[in-house]
Chain A
Amino acid sequence: MLTEPVALMLLLSVAGVVLNIILYRLQSLQMIVSFLVFAAMLALNLQLYGTIGETLVLPVVVFGQAMSFAVSPLAFYFTLMITSITLLTVIFSLESLRGKACTQAYYLWLFLKTFGMLGVVFAADLLTFFLLWELMTWGTFFLMQQTGGESFSPAKKYVVYAVSSSMLLFLGIALIHAWTGSFSFREVAAAFPHMPEGMMLLVVLLMTVGFAVESAMFPLHAWLPESYASTFTSLTSYLSGISTRMGIYGLILLLFGFVGHELADRFQLIGVINLRYIVSIFGALTIIIPTFTALFQHDAKRLVTWHGIGQGGYMILGIFSANALGIAGGIFHIFNYMTYVTLILFSIAAVEYRTGTSNLNKLGGLIKRQPVAFLGLLFGIIGLAGIPPMNGFVSKWFIYKALITEGYPFLAISAIIGTLGTILSVYKLIHNIFLGQLQPEYNEIKEVPFLMQLPIWVLMLAVFATGVFPGPILSLIAEIQSSFGLAPVPYTMTGVDPAAGTLDMLVITTVFIGGLLLAWIVFLLGHKRRHVSQYQNYAAGHFLDESIPYNFNYNFYTGFEHIFNPMKKKVIARTEVAVSSLVEAAGDYLRRIYTGNLATYAMYIMAALVVTSLFLKELI
């Protein structure tokens, strides 16, 4: 059976790679071709909806398994995000990277990465899944070092993490195959509940940790901020928007596709504490620690990438909540996060395009020069902070509500603590870039060209529209939940069913707009206003002009620094010493393996061969 759009989409992304190799160094042709191919892929993706449930089997056989692809509701949801955000990134890059050096391979790696991600979400067997997962991580690695030079070393760090996580995944998949004798998702899912408990726990742990690395879950997040922030900002947005969330895709597949909540709850430790709860605790830590780290960053891109880690925690809390609302919220948050984080990073890229810097201590007052970028960032941060009426609020509301309903007060409060930390750091972001005093050297800059504004406008609309009308996306999510045999979320076009909770975004937005109109009338009641320059300002009787820096942006939250710095000294410094001495001691023991004696090495190789052959016999 052949599903045309799937085959065509995979084929098109491979064609994109090939075309980009042929057109190497012909930058403008590369740009046009890439744009057209990605636009075609988005068009195909929209047709995909009618083919949900169909499968595609390629005549390629590896380990006795033909490569097979299927269109599930979850796959459709993810491909929709992948193709649309890739197209927006390409449109944005057309202008922002025009004429820049070392971008010959930019679109090539973008296509490779897209191919990997599409393959991963379409895959219908574990082997295809793993092969394309590997391809995808290599795509990420090459995208990370597009700017060359200094970006190589953080990218190397990512590869170390990614390869180790792949090994864990591989081991998990090998164990599953050894037990079930199949790679196909359907057969694995059927055989999974009959696995011996110890083996099941091992498989679940291996794969959870493997996916947790890709989704940058605490404490496996250290690779992310620097590697994402050191590449082009358009790629920072692309990578944080969708690439990190492939780990969450893996977790959803593992938890709902194979294990299921009932099984996950079987691994009881003490009382109510089970595996699901432990993962949720790590989810909560993933929210709090990176969000409060973001607060003290001095670089806009790095600040946002720290939030990329933190927001992943909400998805984990939602997905692992075992509640229809919570699961829907977790899955919905993936979409919402993608829209607002790309919006934020595109706006930062627009500023960087004109000023050449994303250093929060050097900017300020740009609202008067780049109002569109300001509006984009404003919509984005309202979404990120989860304030109505933007979409981030809706998915977070689902998660809070689910955690309260299920009786997890401390998980719920950590989600709220994360939101408060987010509000603090995003205000610093928008204040230090756009508000405050305009620096004299940026007096002459202009708004970015139209092609760069277009994705910002589109995303602003998306962030607002899916906030007021979450229904269409929630209907997709309800389908995903039904396809996994879960209770679908009781949604309406503008919120949730009154029987399940109290939320109607349309009413909230309407009342808000009414309130704004009334406030505007009150504003007009007063006498006319007069605009003054930023130098006509209260300065305790002193006179201000261009030569006087009269701005507050360095160390924006000094009070918190007073609170956290002693803690940092006590806790983090001591932990660092403890961990490093542990690693040193372990390394000292490991070092003894390398005796420098050839005979010993030969013995190692023999031993490894024996073990592998024993294991292979088991495997095949």
Chain B
Amino acid sequence: MSTVLWIIFYPIIAFAIGVILLGYGRKFNARVQRRYGPPIQQVFYDILKLMSKRTNISHGWMHDTALVMLLGGTLLTLYFIPVPGFDFFSGYGDFLVVMYILLIPSLGMALGVGETANPNGSIGISRALQMLAGYDIPFALTFIGMAILAGTTNFSEIIALQQAEGIFGWGLMTNPFLGVAALIALHGMMGEKPFEVMVAPHEIATGPMTEMGGKYLGMMMIQHALNVVIELTIYINLFLGGAANWASYLVKLFVLMTLILSVNALFGRFRVDDAVRFMWKVPLVLAVIGVLIIIL
């Protein structure tokens, strides 16, 4: 029974957390720049406004399907990542599955943006995919290292192993090289500065979002909110010992988000080839060292 309730209400909870995290991000940025900033629930207002717009421009059926694929794929990923009290689906698909269902939303969006026939959008997707190859290689390697260390690819088992030994059993503690490499890769995955090459409003007119408006942009924002929760939770589950209860889960989410926002506030934007080069140099080398420590 509780599983059914979780399945129904978990997306709403995750959406609420995501909206608050994004609102917190805006506020944080504003305070760093000595502005007052919008209220923390502003992101929610924005989504409401966009979803109720009367003008919705469509460039064809793939453009529409893309949004459905984007949100549908994100919901799928959300269910397969365990959170405290809800890891029903992690018995049906391990981390390798999560790594590849994470690509469904990106593929959906890429196809839709392609159909809008705007070169800014296509350039944005081209950059996003190059970044994907940049951050996913070190990230996958850190995961492979953790899986070999734990002897399993199942999320719940990796979490249980970490929690058995308290704070010193966390992935970040047992293998700091992998933990740091994954943290940098996570930063690229979240597309925050200096890896914000995909959106780059001053260069390519917000890239993939160029031709998106009204409910299309609204759905993209909903997905973005969920995606923030997904990406942070993956890192928490792999390297911060998962979470035993919701209080520690929320604390870990906000601490990790603050860390990423502080780096974001400090940097400008890399050019895409520099961003990929950085990813293939620093985190990848750290991850290789981490894996060598494990297997040797």
The residues of A with any CB-CB pair to B shorter than 8 Å are: 365, 367-368, 371, 374, 378, 382, 385-388, 393, 397, 400-401, 404, 407, 409-410, 412-413, 416-417, 419-421, 423-424, 427, 430-431, 434-438, 495, 498, 501-504, 507-508, 511-512, 514-520, 522-523, 525-532, 534, 536-538, 540, 550-553, 556-560, 562-563
Q: Are B97 and A508 within 8 A (Cβ)? A: yes
Mark each residue of chain B from 102 to 138: 1 if its CB lies under 8 Å from any CB of chain A, else 0. Answer: 0110010011001111111011011101101100110
* A531-B58 contact in complex given A424-B129, A436-B117, A540-B205, C-beta closer than 8 Å: yes
CB-nearest residue of chain B relative to A410? B291
Main secondary structure of the interface of B (DSSP, over half): helix
Q: Which of A525, A530, A551, A557 touches B57 (beta carbons < 8 Å)?
A: A530
In the complex, how many angstroms separate the beta carbon of B172 from the nearest chain A beta carbon? 19
Taken together as a complex, chains A and B put the C-alpha atoms of A512 and B211 apart, in Å, by 26
The residue from A397, A413, A522, A534 contacting B117, defined by CB atoms under 8 A apart:
A534
In the assembled complex, which residues on chain A have CB atoms less than 8 Å from the CB atom of B115?
367, 435
B218 touching A552, Cβ below 8 Å: no
In the bound assembly, the distance between CA atoms of A549 and B100 in angstroms comes to 35
Tell me if B277 is interfacial: C-beta within 8 Å of chain A.
yes
Contact call A519/B75, Cβ cutoff below 8 A? yes
A526 and B89: CB pair below 8 A? no
Chain A residues whose CB sits within 8 angstroms of the CB of B119 once the complex forms: 436, 550-552
Q: A-B pairs with CB below 8 Å: how many?
A: 244
Q: B118 to A538, Cβ gap below 8 A?
A: yes
Take A522-B71, A530-B58 as given contacts and tell me if A537 and B118 are in contact as well, using a CB distance cutoff of 8 Å: yes
Kindly state the separation between the CA atoms of A416 and B100 in the bound complex, as whole angstroms: 10
Judged by a CB distance under 8 angstroms, whether B166 is at the interface is no
Contact at A502–B91, with CB atoms within 8 Å? yes
Using known A-B contacts A409-B291, A502-B90, determine if residue A388 contacts B58 with beta carbons closer than 8 Å.
Answer: no
Q: Is B147 a contact partner of A526 (Cβ separation < 8 A)? A: no
List of B residues within 8 angstroms of A427 by Cβ? 107, 110, 125, 129
The answer to whether A502 and B273 have CB atoms under 8 Å apart is: no
| B257 contacts partner chain A, Cβ-Cβ < 8 Å | no
A519 to B112, CA, bound (A): 15
Q: What is the distance, in angstroms, from A516's C-beta to the closest C-beta of chain B?
A: 4
Chain A residue numbers with a CB within 8 Å of B153 are 401, 404, 501-502
A428 vs chain B, min Cβ distance (A) = 8
A-side contacts of B37, CB under 8 Å: none
Q: Are A501 and B72 in contact (CB under 8 A)?
A: no
Most chain-A Cβ atoms within 10 A of its Cβ — which of B53, B89, B126, B277?
A: B126
Whether B92 lies near A512 (C-beta < 8 A) is no
- Which single residue of chain A is at the shortest CB-CB distance from B103? A387
Contacts of A525 in B (CB 8 A): 51, 215
Residues of A within 8 A of B205 (CB): 538, 540
Known contacts A437-B117, A498-B91; decide if A512 and B60 are in contact (CB<8 Å): no
Asked whether, in the complex, the Cβ of A424 is within 8 Å of the Cβ of B130, the reply is: yes
CB–CB A511/B79 < 8 A: yes
Choose among B99, B114, B147 the residue that contacts A435 (Cβ–Cβ < 8 A). B114
Question: Of B64, B100, B291, which is within 8 A of A387 by CB?
Answer: B100
A516 engages B129 (CB within 8 Å) = no
Contacts of B261 in A (CB 8 A): none
A327 CB, nearest partner CB in chain B, Å: 18
Answer whether residue B295 sits at the interface, using C-beta atoms and an 8 A cutoff.
yes
B72 touches A512 (CB 8 A): yes
Interface pair B97/A397, CB less than 8 Å apart: yes
**Residues of chain B lying within 8 A (CB to CB) of residue A504:** 92-93
Residue of B nearest to A375 (CB): B62
